[in-house]
Structure 1
């Protein structure tokens, strides 16, 4: 599904990504962990075509990232730190707008279903500018999946969410996985990573320093490996 070879990214004479080699299969849920400045969000931005790599090759669903950006953009949903919503619009208006951009059939029906799925049907026609952080994030989740993407990129998706919103987000990720969606999530939340991801990548200084399967939601294993690789504690 995603194949990366020799990926580097340099900015302002600083090498942010230092030769990433990575292969991710369709349907995997992958968490990327690491300290601030490790290159996690930069990797996600390269994959989502927001920034260009300096060197290396990225293939997504058999398409070359440099040559097939338009086709690749149709394949993924992206949830960055900002919601990307228009705050003067309602959830319905926002989701219909993005649905139409992606060519969704009957976008109003799809939008209404998603607002219900994220638990905000009562606020379907209220302006987003009046929403709390948690409510905005719920609609942003719906925006990211309005076109039922084959790949989902999430950058710190649980930050600032209440328990209800966390549960909704996790349910969305799990339900997308059942449909075969590949999810890559940058996070500092080890508990949520263990809860929903089946593979863990640990990054440090622009490199992947560990890559392992996580079985039975083993949070202790995750913590031990992180401390060993990042903090030097065994």
Structure 2
């Protein structure tokens, strides 16, 4: 579960997040245009950035006061792969696996490498990978320690068709766990989620259950909310 209360983040005179309140206990997609504050929110939840005020908890663990414990609960997939170019694919996964003390690490790596279709490239350096292949390996990295919470920041950016389908299959089977996905792609973002929310200029301006809203209605509401804040 993700609990966010009164979360704000300022960069000088610029407000990236303003009193954000959000509770996620299943699969929520957070929509918003570029610059809305989506990535800032994900970075705070993943302990890479501190908020100016407010609180955020991952499975009742305060991300500000207990960042190490919080990180053990989450897997992050974003347009930043967090991979080391000089290492081979399997070496990257072994590095992260040891950080998280993953049991039966070699077996886990083999399973995930096959799941994302990179078993024929596991001995190759990441520097030689295409953008899509890097993203596929990044999916494996995020799932290595079998996290209870997934944070997805524009996860489909740079994915090839195979990787996009693989990610959707993984998300569809990620039962009894929590997923927070951010995107500006309305159609793909609505596809698997249980709840939707819209973030504009650092503020949550809309929330709804996904089953209560169709794509065309969401598109209309999204455009309206974005235009109101221009």
TM-score tier, shorter chain, comes to: over 0.9
Q: Which runs of 4+ in 1 moved over 2 A?
A: none
Equivalent residue for 1:21? 21
SS at structure 2 position matched to 1:168: helix
Tell me the distance in 2 between the aligned counterparts of 1:173 and 1:231.
31
Partner of 1:189: 185
Contact 2:43 2:49 in 1 (8 A): yes
* TM-score normalised by L of structure 1: 0.92
How many residues are paired up?
Answer: 228
SS in structure 1 at match of 2:30: strand
Q: Report the Cα distance in structure 1 between the residues aligned to 2:5 and 2:86, rounded to whole angstroms.
A: 42
Equivalent residues of 2:79, 2:158 under 8 A apart:
no
Map residues 140-155 of structure 1 onto 2, 5 A cutoff: 140-155=138-153
Measure, in 2, the Cα distance between the counterparts of 1:128 and 1:16: 33
Once residues 205 and 84 of structure 2 are traced to their aligned partners in structure 1, the CA distance between those partners, rounded to angstroms, is 39
Out of 214, 218, 223, the residue aligned to residue 214 of structure 2 is: 218
Pick the aligned partner of 2:171 from 170, 173, 178: 173
Residue 83 of structure 2 is matched in structure 1 by 85
Match of 1:54 in 2: 52
Give, in whole Å, the separation in 2 of the partners of 1:35 and 1:217: 19
Deviations 1:80-130 (A, max 9, x none): 322111122222111111111101001111011000000111112111111
Q: Does residue 33 in structure 1 map to residue 34 in structure 2?
A: no
Instruction: Give the counterpart of 1:122 among 96, 120, 123.
Output: 120
Q: Structure 1, unaligned stretches of length 5 or more? A: none
Alignment partner, residue 161 of structure 1: 159
Contact 2:36–2:202 under 8 Å retained in 1: yes
Q: Deviations over 1:36-90 (max 9, x none)?
A: 2111111111111111111112222122222211111100011232211112222
User: Out of 85, 98, 101, which is 1:100 matched to?
Assistant: 98
CA distance in 1, matches of 2:217, 2:119: 39
Partner secondary structure for residue 122 of structure 1: coil
Question: RMSD value over aligned CA atoms?
Answer: 1.5
- 2: distance between equivalents of 1:217 and 1:114? 34
5+ residue gaps, structure 2: none
Alpha-carbon distance between aligned partners in 1 of 2:5 and 2:212, rounded to the nearest angstrom: 30
